[in-house]
């Protein structure tokens, strides 16, 4: 059967649009990759010479050749531990409740809209909120705990939205099959829905943590120290109960603050230090994403079995 001329023209026009879209998409991807590679190559070439053991085991110094990132990377790690312990379980639990248990009414719709809007709020707003609530009202001071709670608030909407989207992608037939076999709602969610949605949830968690580890404005707002020459107390003690929480109340600095402080110096040696610290921060973020990819692969492979 012959194709009408008008229909053939419509098909050819649609194919040309598809080709144009693919070309534009590849051009945008190539531009983004070239930009990233150029910036990363420049960062490596400038800061590679400073990447040595002393750089990781030395405190900040007014002399560029003696300066290191010990306090910065320890502070970032401490803050991210608090952020993860607060934001991840709370965000996942909130997403599960909103998607599986919450009634569909105006209040739930209002909460969902506010959570989606909070995911796009500038980070400085969270810093101002934390300054008024955690620092002044609760008297937590400019501590590791305050920074962790601030960044947890920052990424909490991202984790909730990612959790809901991952749960929503699970086919309804899985729930119906579980209910047909006599499973309760919690058994269905725990043993089936979460198992299938966990790869997507992990992706959202890592995206949120990757954003938090590079944030500067919130922790600067709450009063993080830009120059520090000591570490927080260790979390393990030699006396019962062998755990210490003093590190939560300790002043701190972080990698983004250290990088910002060095980039504000005019000396080339400090610029090299900043490039080296930025390279370490990028590698930390890539390592977090690599762990997420590995976990997602393992979970998906288990599901295939």
> The domain spanning residue 300 has which CATH number?
1.10.3720.10
How large is the angle between the packed helices 106-118 and 144-168, nearest 10 degrees?
Answer: 120
Q: Do both 245 and 169 map to the same domain?
A: yes
**pLDDT score for 112:** 84
With bands split at pLDDT 50, 70 and 90, how would you rate the model's confidence at 303? low
Q: Do both 68 and 24 map to the same domain?
A: no
Q: What digits encode the pLDDT tens for the residues 174-186?
A: 888 888 888 888 8
Is the model's pLDDT at 34 over the cut of 80? yes
**pLDDT score for 302:** 66
Q: Do both 42 and 157 map to the same domain?
A: no
Q: Do both 29 and 121 map to the same domain?
A: no
Domain assignment of residue 291, given as a range: 52-304
Q: Are 75 and 253 in contact (CB under 8 A)?
A: yes
- The residues that bridge with 236 in the sheet, in sequence order, are 243
Cis peptide before 22 (omega within 30 of 0): no
Most confident among 93-102, 242-251, 280-289 (mean pLDDT): 93-102
Integer angstrom CA distances of residue 2 from 7, 10, 13, 212: 10, 15, 18, 60
Higher per-residue confidence, 279 vs 226: 279
Integer angstrom CA distances of residue 198 from 153, 181, 201, 303: 22, 23, 5, 11
Q: How far apart are CA 66 and CA 96, in angstroms?
A: 49
Q: What digits encode the pLDDT tens for the residues 265-300?
A: 878 888 888 888 888 888 888 887 788 778 777 777
Q: What is the model's pTM?
A: 0.83
Number of domains into which the chain is organized: 2
Number of residues assigned to the chain: 305
Q: What digits encode the pLDDT tens for the residues 192-212?
A: 888 888 888 888 888 888 888
Q: Do both 38 and 121 map to the same domain?
A: no
Spatial CA neighbour of 57 closest among 45, 66, 49, 48? 66
Q: Do both 182 and 212 map to the same domain?
A: yes
């Amino acid at each position: 059967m012959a194709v009408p001329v008008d229909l053939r023209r419509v098909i050819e026009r649609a194919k040309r649009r598809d080709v144009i879209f693919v070309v534009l998409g590849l051009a945008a991807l190539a531009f983004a990759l070239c930009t990233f590679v150029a910036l990363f190559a420049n960062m490596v070439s400038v800061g590679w010479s400073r990447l040595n053991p002393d750089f990781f085991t030395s405190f900040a110094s007014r002399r560029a050749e003696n300066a290191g990132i010990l306090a910065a990377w320890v502070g970032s790690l401490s803050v991210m531990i608090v952020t993860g312990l607060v934001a991840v379980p709370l965000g996942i639990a909130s997403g599960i409740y909103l998607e599986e248990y919450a009634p569909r009414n105006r209040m739930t719709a209002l909460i969902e809209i506010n959570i989606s809007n909070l995911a796009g709020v500038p980070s400085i707003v969270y810093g101002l909120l934390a300054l008024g609530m955690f620092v002044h009202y609760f008297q937590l001071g400019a501590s590791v705990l305050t920074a962790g709670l601030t960044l947890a608030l920052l990424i909490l909407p991202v984790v909730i939205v990612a959790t809901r989207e991952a749960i929503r992608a699970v086919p309804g037939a899985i729930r119906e099959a579980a209910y047909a076999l006599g499973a309760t709602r919690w058994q269905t969610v725990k043993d089936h829905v979460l198992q299938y949605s966990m790869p997507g949830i992990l992706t959202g968690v890592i995206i949120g943590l990757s954003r938090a580890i590079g944030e500067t404005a919130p922790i600067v707002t709450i009063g993080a120290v830009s120059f520090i020459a000591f570490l927080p107390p260790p979390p393990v003690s030699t006396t019962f109960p062998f755990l210490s929480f003093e590190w939560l109340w300790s002043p701190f600095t972080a990698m983004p603050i250290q990088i910002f402080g060095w980039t504000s110096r005019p000396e080339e040696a400090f610029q090299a230090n900043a490039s080296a610290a930025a390279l370490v921060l990028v590698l930390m973020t890539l390592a977090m994403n690599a762990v997420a990819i590995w976990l997602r692969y393992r979970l998906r492979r288990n599901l295939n079995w």
